[in-house]
Amino acid sequence: MISPLKRSLPMLVMGACTLYFLVPIWWLLVAASKSRSQFSNTDPLWFADFSLFDNLNELFSYRDGVFLRWMLNSVVYTGGAALLGTVLAAMCGYALAKYRFPGREAIFNVVLSGVLVPATALALPLFLIFSQFNATNTFWSVFLPSLVNPFGVYLARIYATASVPDELLEAARLDGSGEVRTFFTVSTKLMFPALVTIFLFHFVAVWNNFLLPLIMLGNERLFPVTLGLYSWNTQVNQIPELRMLVLTGALVSIIPLVIAFLLLQRFWRNGLGSGAIK
């Protein structure tokens, strides 16, 4: 039996940390629900008149609904890049795990050293390369570089080694299944929890990527939501009414990821660190 006294200190620490992590989000929720005048003269941590829907209305209609456009951009950049990027990383990592061929270790080491190269160091040279093709300030200039996820290849290789038995592949071959078909019908099923983890990592990385769109994009209609909110926030001192839009927008911008986290809980809850143990 564990005495209540022994329990109370850990619970106290956990409680204090919960406050630290959740109060800012609570504050954001409360702030986004207030009118401009009440924002500065009512209790910051409790609701006043509930004007969240007015704020949302204003947010979505401001300048022809540019915010909604940013949200959609973010979903397409991030969702598309993470989905496609996970498939590509999985195929490459799987091949590196399950086949022996000359140059295998060399390829793996090059990809692995890519993990240590910070993505932001690539943003400027990518801009210079894309400008050679007059392709900066386009959707593709942000989307294509976001597809590449070397850490995903590293994780996929580890997971494929651990979860796809050679005997199974051999059996599939005897049944006459081609290598590619085996991958998509058998191996991906075994690797599925791992693939969700790779997808989540990739999703968050692209969602957070700030320097690449900042350098690459000039056209506001192409901005992801982070860059859009950033550009509004830099104008807050000149245009004070943007402040409520920034706050409401900040709240809206985190909702998709929070929902994704909740839905995919059973995958990240225990699986997130599996790559680190090996």
By CB under 8 A, the residues from 222 to 261 that bind another protein are 226-227, 229-230, 233-234, 236-237, 246-247, 250, 253-254, 257-258, 260-261
Residues 93-112 that bind another protein (CB under 8 A): 94-96, 99-101, 107, 110-111
Total of chain residues touching another protein, rule CB under 8 A: 96
Q: Is 213 in the site for another protein (CB under 8 A)?
A: no
Give 13 or 171: the residue with its C-beta nearer to another protein.
Answer: 13
Residue 65 CB, nearest approach to another protein (Å):
20
Residues 118-177 that bind another protein (CB under 8 A): 118-122, 124-129, 144-145, 147-148, 150, 153
Alpha-carbon distance of 246 to 104, in angstroms, equals 49
Which pair of structure tokens corresponds to residue 183? 């991958």
Alpha-carbon distance of 30 to 108, in angstroms, equals 49
Instruction: Kindly tell me which residue out of 178, 189, 221, 239 binds another protein, with binding defined by CB under 8 A.
Output: 178
CB 206 within 8 A of CB 82: yes
* Angle at which helices 66-75 and 242-263 cross, to 10°: 30
Give 52 or 214: the residue with its C-beta nearer to another protein.
Answer: 214
The b-or-e profile of 29-58 (16+ CB within 10 A means b, else e) is: ebbbbbeeeebeeeeeeeeeeebbebbbeb
Q: Is 20 in the site for another protein (CB under 8 A)?
A: yes
Instruction: Kindly tell me which residue out of 59, 71, 92, 164 binds another protein, with binding defined by CB under 8 A.
Output: 92
**Which span sits near another protein by CB under 8 A: 43-51, 52-60, 61-69, 188-196?**
43-51
| CB-based contacts of 24, cutoff 8 Å, min separation 6 | none
Q: Is 114 in the site for another protein (CB under 8 A)?
A: yes
Residue 14 CB, nearest approach to another protein (Å):
5
| CB-based contacts of 185, cutoff 8 Å, min separation 6 | 177
Give 7 or 221: the residue with its C-beta nearer to another protein.
Answer: 7
Give 61 or 124: the residue with its C-beta nearer to another protein.
Answer: 124
200: left (phi over 0), alpha (psi -120 to 50) or beta: alpha
Q: CA of 189: how far to CAs of 56, 59, 95, 109, 131, in Å?
A: 41, 42, 16, 27, 41
Residue 57 CB, nearest approach to another protein (Å):
21
